[in-house]
Structure 1
Amino acid sequence: MSTKEFTLDDLRRILREGAGETVDLDGDILDTGFEELGYESLALLETGGRIEREYGITLDDAALTDAVTPRALIEVVNADLAGAERAA
């Protein structure tokens, strides 16, 4: 069984790879809305694509748009990772 887990640090890294260092992602951002952090829906779709490629999963577009905070997105990704692990 794999111990692969998607963390806040993973999300920060991927967000920075996509948008650069223009947004402050340090501190307690788990429950801060992505819009408040400066990420609109197109940026989140790109983030979702990066996560899919790196982690080998397929994220539902609706789940991505419904995940309005980093905590929610991390939960979606980890649920997909757990589902992929069970299917393997």
Structure 2
Amino acid sequence: MPAAVFTLDDLKLILRTGAGTDEGVDLDGDILDTDFEALGYESLAMLETGSRIEREYDITLDEEALAEARTPRTLIAFVNEHLAAIEQRA
């Protein structure tokens, strides 16, 4: 069975369903290196996003590391590193 991979599309879906989108923010644009706050997602929205990722991927994320993931690129990398570590232990 192939390892689970967390993609930008997965993140966008979780952001839209969990916290919605601010008017004027285009999640379909080039957002990989845009700070979450600039996208309208502050700490509470990011906690909800982390919770949804944990539930959907059946993982536990470190809250401090999650808080340090300031852009979609860093969050995606963080989640994928976690998923890869779990896959290696299996």
Match of 2:82 in 1: 80
Match of 1:65 in 2: 67
Map residues 1-88 of structure 1 onto 2, 5 A cutoff. 1-22=1-22, 23-88=25-90
Cα offsets for 1:14-71 (capped at 9, x unmatched): 0001122444211110000000000001110110000000001111001110000000
Larger relative helix fraction: 1
Q: Structure 1 runs of 4+ off > 3 angstroms?
A: none
Q: Which 5+ residue runs of structure 1 have no aligned equivalent?
A: none
Question: TM-score, normalization: structure 1?
Answer: 0.93
Partner Cα distance (2:85, 2:54) in 1:
14
Question: TM-score, normalization: structure 2?
Answer: 0.91
Q: How many residues align?
A: 88
**Identical-residue share of aligned pairs (%):** 68
Residue 3 of structure 1: how far off its partner (Å): 2.9
Q: Which 5+ residue runs of structure 2 have no aligned equivalent?
A: none
Kept after mapping to 2: 8 A contact 1:32/1:70: yes
Kept after mapping to 2: 8 A contact 1:6/1:77: yes
